[in-house]
Amino acid sequence: MRPEGFAAIQKHRDAGHELVGITATSDFITAPIFHEFGITEIIATNAEVVDGKYTGKVINTACYQKGKLIRLEQWLQGRDIEESWAYSDSFNDRFLLEYADHAIVVNPDERLEALAKAQHWEIQDWSI
């Protein structure tokens, strides 16, 4: 994680925002990483386990592209959220960025940068 990422997490924590990590990577890989950053709410691709072994299959909707938005909407059920922020460095997250009240694009490639400019999203450079 880059320093600006830690600063963004702290800014939202200080503002009392609920932090949610959303990733296409499997939960068994990402959960420990998110927990290390103090993010306990995690939406990730869930791997099927049978008899203590991973089968290679995905449970539920894969948390990828529009699937991230589907999984977020499921997580949001019953919660009262007034405002949302989404950070991403991937064009694959465009649906999530479009959904958020505040979209922040980090170190975008050319395609994501063009979309961010067209949508008037904030672009941040977290280069080292």
What pLDDT, on the 0 to 100 scale, is given for residue 81?
Answer: 85
Of residues 74, 29, 75, the one with CA closest to residue 45: 29
Q: What is the per-residue pLDDT across 76-87, written as a single tens digit (0 to 9) for each?
A: 998 888 889 999
Residue 59: beta bridge partners?
A: 46
Query: Distance (Å, rounded) from C-alpha 122 to C-alpha 14?
Result: 21
- Complete domains list, the chain, with CATH: 1-76 (3.40.50.1000), 83-121 (no CATH)
Residue 65 has pLDDT above 80, yes or no: yes
